[in-house]
Structure 1
Amino acid sequence: MPDSANRLGYVHSRLVRHSAESAAAIPDFGAEGDRIVILAGDRVLLSGDTALLTPAEASRAGVPGLTLFLGRLDGAPVFAAALPAEVAEAYDAEPPFRSNDLRSLAGEGRIAAHELGLLATAKSLLGWHARHGFCANCGTPTTLAAGGYRRECAACGTHHFPRTDPVVIMLITRGEACLLGRSPRFNEGMYSCLAGFLEPGETIEDAVRRETFEEVGLTIGAVRYHASQPWPFPASLMIGCVAEALDDAITIDPVELADARWFTRAEAAAMLEARHPEGFTAPPPLAIANLLVRAFVDGRV
């Protein structure tokens, strides 16, 4: 596996999800060997260089009632819980805990890579429960089931399952150049791959072609899958593709993009290394866009 793939955020996880266990086997949190991850808004509580807290540490943190059973790590049960967002600052000022947001944790590399994947699962699940307390079929409050991987409606019997939103993210190539764009919300000078959500009844390839045409007016021919990445903001799956443009005349959608342009391999390499003469940069290694651009620079796409 290329080194750039090893640096991708949230893709590594040693969690054995509890779907292989029966509902009767789901444990309650509190045994000595149990571990729990606690989120306060977008921030994660840390003890030293780990987000896996012991029951004693969780007790000091004041874990609320909603506790999810994620599965097992090296045979030990692992849980997740959420605290109010405003609590995070108080823990930063009062050892033994500190907190950090999930993006920064992925960029800094201070905790084990496999914990990031586990935290991505926790954040996505906790966020889904916070937003889906009522049945979409009849409006009745739902209850947690299957350790947190399902919610059930006692009134109409409907089962609700956590959703993952698929997003295509594509590096557009034409000959020895690649196309990168700037969203208005990006940091100054940063360019990235185009991206967009899949729509119902749409293939990955057609989503790449539609999004590219909508954003920059290019017609796309061949589309190839390259890699994927969970993106827990709040619960997406980034599907990385490489696509071949059949023309090179760019027509920007100003609502979606502030700019888009073609870059040579040498320019893309300079952007990855933050040495482009105009100050242009690429996304950091934790993002799949970096992986796609690096693959282009290295001649692997």
Structure 2
Amino acid sequence: MRFENVVQDHKSGQEASLKALIFGKNGQVAQELQRRCGAWRLEVRGSDEANFETPEICAAFVAATDADVVINAAAYTAVDRAETDEARAEMVNATTPGAIAQAAALRGLPLVHISTDYVFDGSGQTPFLPQDPTGPLGAYGRSKLAGEEAVRAAGGVHAILRTSWVVSSHGANFVKTMLRLGAERDRLTIVADQIGGPTPAAAIADACFSIAEQLCADPAKSGSYHFSGAPDVSWADFAREIFAQAGLGCEVADIPSSAYPTPAKRPQNSRMDCSSTQTVFGIARPDWRQGLRAILHDLKA
């Protein structure tokens, strides 16, 4: 049985050479994948069809697709809620991606699977390499790590792309929260001892397409990779740049993580070494400040 929900190339009007099956239709990255598909044809599945709490249904879409590659941009991302909802986080972030990976391996389809810096323990100040030991601090990180392990265990061609601090003009994210609060208040206290790379979803989408195309041509590029925005920055300094670019006069006061307790512990060091991504795929770290300008432009439009 063929499933039909294909988005045709809306930019070139030409027949595309490759087609991607994308999971996570309404997420930040998937929305950018749909906006930036260029010559790609897309088959896009959201939770209304491909519910990630039903792994067999999601695997069936892979078994039936005529796509050349699968991109999994779906995830359970409620970090704090996962502490009391770990079984669901495990299903969405691990069990179902594993089923998708197995189905893709049986079909010989490369899989690009998006993961997170939360698989690490956030210790030290040195950027984490893809091969560094993992040690998630909470349920969300554990579920994402289990998802990585399931993708690898399937034995197919894959790229696990760990990213961090995803922002866009879509959904809920730090940029949109700061714009709302910065317009309402004169002063905000923001955590300053957590350091990482804000990553525009648009840049992640472009990276996914490039990696997918290269995996189709060279399966030996399979592996785990990092992709985050540059330069590394604290949440407090990220907020300052948001307010500066948006023309908001809100003052930012630095606070330690201990002054802002959350149900799930956040990694203090979210720096990631992305050099292998550039070496293998020719993809450099994006400048998040330029990405922020594009996000603000989108929001104004």
Instruction: Look at both structures and tell me which one has the larger radius of gyration over its CA atoms.
Output: 1
Q: Which has the higher contact order (CA 8 A, sep 6+)?
A: 2
With structure 1 as the length reference, what TM-score do the two structures score?
0.27
By percentage of residues, which structure has more helix? Answer: 2
By percentage of residues, which structure has more strand? Answer: 1
